[in-house]
Structure formats: structure tokens, C-alpha cells
């Protein structure tokens, strides 16, 4: 998911670079018009996408769930995988959630243990928007202030998107070795430090080109670190934390919340950076660093570790109100009719 975003940013950076030599209205109309090429691909892709096995099991279509699971897995992966056992586990998980949950409407996402799960999913998504990621889209301005030509500034912008792609691909490997909570904490701490540096450099003399070049370079590092940690880990958390019966609605709410604050970003950033407006420049980094610190503190106390857990195990951990910092070492038996944890 994160790579899809980065590929879009990379294409967008290339299109804008290509439009530098175009004058008149078409210099902005073409970039907007090119976005109409994506809906047909999305429609076709959605039509051929496999159905959710969990949804099929809830509808009692076990054979269809089995076929969907086979489409989603590879026989050449080398993993010892039994599709019938997986269907049985999904069925058992669904039955356990039906026993513990009252319903699957939106308001049920805010009741009992699901309130905590909704909070984690929503704030994880919100952090993507409010951790300073909006600065990545304005690095061209800093390069121009550093004295680079317009062409080279946009070239660096393409390089920034490419670094984001590299960071995302590397994240696939580190997620196999480190937990989601560990990556999230390290990622947010790193972004906090980088934004403090960017904000501090904003107090330098504007006539000095060195700080502006350093700020642009730090934004390159920021982009790679973001796409190595916070960017992709958000999608794992939002998919893993909700219960299977509330997952779709929880993801909808989390994404909608992120979009709403994205509108706020789009309104704030031009004012933060505009020389004829607030003109904060790089000092804007301190504003976003404050949010990073808030999210870092929240994650330390509230973000659990879902890595290596089945959805049934996560159900037990949330139902028993296990503290976030104890998730990783808590032993769970989802089939135990007693407490289920020890």
C-alpha cells in the first residue's frame, strides 16, 4: 500500500519536472488531466480481486473462502500452509467474536474492548498525516532557496520520491525481524529528531544558502526514514488491530480521520511556508515535531505488539485488557474457556 503511494509521488514528480518547459494553462492542466488514467485500472483490479476469506466464512461460504485463500497464497513460498486449517481457524475466530461482541454496526466499534482497538487504528492513521509528512511535498522550495536551479530542484524532488520507494521496499524485510511497536517507536523518534534539526536550521540567516541545502538534504533523509517505518507500518497496524468483524468499518473511520486532517495540512502548509503569509519556513518543522512527540508518548503507553499473533489471540488479549507493553510476552490460548492468557 505504501509503495503505491510512493510510486504515485514518483510519477507526479516526473510529470511536474516534464512540465517545466511547458508554458500557459496546459502546464497545470496536463498534470491534473493525467489523473483520469487511473480509474479504469482501479475498476478492473477491484473486479478481479479475491474476496475476503473472513467475509466469506461469516456468510457460511466455506468452499469459496478456501478458494480465495488459495488465490492469496503461493504453493512455491516454502511455507508449510494448510488451507483447511486456516479456514477452520477463521471459523473459530468468527464464532469467538460473535460470542464476545454485540454486533457489527459502527457504534459497536466504540463499545467494550473494541473502543481501544478503534482508538489504536485511528491514531495510527492520524499519525501518518500529522508527523510532518506534509513537508516532503515542499522540499523543492527549500532547494530553490539554497540556490539550486528550478530544474535541479525538481530533479532532487524525483530523487526524494525514489528514496521513499527504496525505504518502503526495505521495510518489507525489517518487518519480518522487528515488531510493529518497535518499528513505530523508532520511526516516530527518528522523525522527531529530524524535524527538530529542520526547525532549528530555520533560524539561520536566510542569506546563507548552506542551511537551506541542509534542510533539503534532511528532508531526503526524512522521506526515506518515514517510508521505512511510519508510512508502511501504519497499514499493518490498521489491518491487524481491529477485530475481523469490525475491520472494514474501523479502517473506514481511520482513513476518513486521516483524510480530514489531510485537508488541514493542505490549508496550513502554504501559509506556513509562503513568504507572503506566515513565512515560518523551515521553522515549521518544530510545529510538526511537537505532534511527533505526542504520538511517541501515546505509542509507548497505548500501542500493542500484534506481530506473530493470530486474530483470535489478539481478541483474547484485548478482551482481557492486557497492557500494551505486555502484549509481546503474554502467552495466549484462544481455545481456553478460562482467562486465556498467562
Length of the chain: 342
Give pTM, 2 decimals: 0.89
The residue among 50 and 208 whose pLDDT is bigger is 50
Q: What is the DSSP letter of 131?
A: S
What is the tens place of the pLDDT at every residue in 197-234? 999 998 988 778 888 888 888 989 999 999 999 999 99
Buried b (16+ CB within 10 A) or exposed e, 120-146: bbbbbbbbbbbbbbbbbbbbbbbbbbb
**Confidence at 146, pLDDT banded by 50, 70, 90:** low
pLDDT given for residue 76 in this prediction: 78
Q: Cα separations (Å) of 16 from 27, 33, 140, 163, 227? A: 8, 13, 11, 18, 22
Region 248-274 average pLDDT = 91
Q: What is the mean pLDDT of the chain?
A: 90
Contact 194, 136 (CB under 8 A): no
Instruction: Name the architecture of domain 110-307.
Output: Up-down Bundle (1.20)
Q: Residue 294 in contact with residue 306, Cβ under 8 Å? A: no
The confidence score (pLDDT) of residue 323 equals: 93
Half-sphere exposure of 79 (CA within 13 A, CB side): 6
| Boundaries of every domain in the chain | 110-307
pLDDT tier for residue 336 given thresholds of 50, 70 and 90: low
Please determine, for residue 338, whether its predicted confidence score (pLDDT) is greater than 60: no
C-alpha cell at 178: 522487528
pLDDT confidence tier of residue 270, bands split at 50, 70 and 90: confident
pLDDT value at position 115? 94
Report which secondary-structure segment, H or E, holds 322: none
The pLDDT > 90 percentage for the chain reads 65
pLDDT tens, residue by residue, 23-33: 889 999 999 99
Please enumerate in sequence order all residues whose Cβ is within 8 A of that of 80, keeping only pairs 6 or more positions apart, or say none: none
Q: What are phi and psi of 53, to 5 degrees?
A: -60, -35
The string of DSSP codes covering 53-109 is HHHHHHTT-HHHHHHHHHHHS-TTS-----HHHHHHHHHHHHHHHHHH-S--SGGGG
- Per the CB < 8 A criterion, the answer to whether 16 and 154 are in contact is yes
Q: Which residue's entry shows cell 500501542?
A: 303
| CA distances (Å), origin 155, targets 17, 136, 169, 303 | 7, 14, 22, 38
Query: How confident is the model over 282-308, as a mean pLDDT?
Result: 95
Beta bridge mates, 341: 332
Integer angstrom CA distances of residue 170 from 1, 68, 83, 145, 162:
14, 28, 29, 32, 13
Q: What are the grid coordinates assigned to 106, written together?
A: 459502527
- Report whether pLDDT(238) > 80: yes
If phi > 0 it is left, if psi is from -120 to 50 it is alpha, else beta; for residue 147 that is left
Written as one string, the DSSP assignment of 218-280 is: HHHHHHHHHHHTHHHHHHHHHHHSS-TTTHHHHHHHHHHHHHHHHHHHHHHHHHHH-TTTT--
pLDDT range class, residue 60, cuts 50, 70, 90: very high
Residue 341 predicted with pLDDT over 80 = no
Question: Among 68-77, 163-172, 230-239, where is mean pLDDT lowest?
Answer: 68-77
Residue 30 is given by DSSP the state: H
Q: What is the pLDDT of residues 303-313, one digit of tens each?
A: 999 998 999 89
Contact 341, 331 (CB under 8 A): yes
Q: Does 335 have pLDDT greater than 70? A: no
**What is the pLDDT, as a whole number, of residue 145?**
74
What DSSP designation does 341 have?
B
Q: What is the pLDDT of residues 314-334, one digit of tens each?
A: 999 999 999 999 998 998 876
Amino acid at each position: 500500500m505504501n509503495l503505491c503511494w510512493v510510486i504515485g509521488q514518483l510519477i507526479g514528480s516526473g510529470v511536474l519536472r516534464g512540465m517545466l518547459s511547458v508554458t500557459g494553462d496546459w502546464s497545470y492542466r496536463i498534470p491534473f488531466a493525467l489523473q483520469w488514467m487511473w480509474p479504469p485500472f482501479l475498476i478492473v483490479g477491484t473486479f478481479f480481486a479475491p474476496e475476503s476469506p473472513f467475509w466469506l466464512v461469516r456468510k457460511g461460504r466455506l468452499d469459496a473462502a478456501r478458494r480465495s485463500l488459495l488465490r492469496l497464497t503461493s504453493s512455491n513460498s516454502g511455507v508449510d500452509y494448510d488451507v483447511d486449517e486456516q479456514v477452520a481457524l477463521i471459523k473459530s475466530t468468527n464464532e469467538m467474536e460473535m460470542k464476545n461482541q454485540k454486533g457489527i454496526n459502527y457504534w459497536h466499534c466504540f463499545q467494550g474492548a473494541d473502543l481501544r482497538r478503534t482508538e489504536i487504528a485511528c491514531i495510527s492513521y492520524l499519525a501518518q498525516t500529522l508527523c510532518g509528512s506534509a513537508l516532503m511535498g515542499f522540499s523543492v522550495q527549500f532547494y530553490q532557496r539554497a540556490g539550486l536551479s528550478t530544474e535541479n530542484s525538481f530533479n532532487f524532488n524525483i530523487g526524494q520520491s525514489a528514496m521513499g520507494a527504496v525505504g518502503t521496499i526495505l521495510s518489507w524485510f525489517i518487518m519480518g525481524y522487528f515488531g510493529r511497536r518497535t518499528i513505530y517507536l523508532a520511526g516516530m523518534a527518528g522523525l522527531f529528531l529530524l524535524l527538530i534539526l529542520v526547525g532549528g536550521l530555520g533560524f539561520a540567516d536566510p542569506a546563507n544558502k548552506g542551511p537551506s541545502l541542509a534542510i533539503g538534504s534532511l528532508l531526503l533523509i526524512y522521506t526515506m526514514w518515514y517510508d521505512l517505518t511510519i508510512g508502511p507500518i501504519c497499514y499493518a497496524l490498521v489491518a491487524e488491530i481491529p477485530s475481523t468483524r469490525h475491520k472494514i468499518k474501523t479502517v473506514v473511520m481511520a482513513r476518513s480521520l486521516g483524510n480530514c486532517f489531510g485537508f488541514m495540512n493542505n490549508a496550513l502548509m502554504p501559509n506556513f511556508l509562503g513568504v507572503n503569509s506566515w513565512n515560518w519556513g523551515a521553522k515549521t518543522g518544530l510545529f510538526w515535531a511537537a505532534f511527533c512527540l505526542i504520538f511517541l508518548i501515546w505509542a509507548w503507553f497505548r500501542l500493542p505488539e500484534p506481530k506473530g499473533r493470530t486474530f483470535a489471540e489478539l481478541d483474547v488479549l484485548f478482551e482481557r485488557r492486557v497492557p500494551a507493553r505486555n502484549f509481546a510476552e503474554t502467552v495466549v490460548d484462544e481455545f481456553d474457556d478460562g482467562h486465556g492468557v498467562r
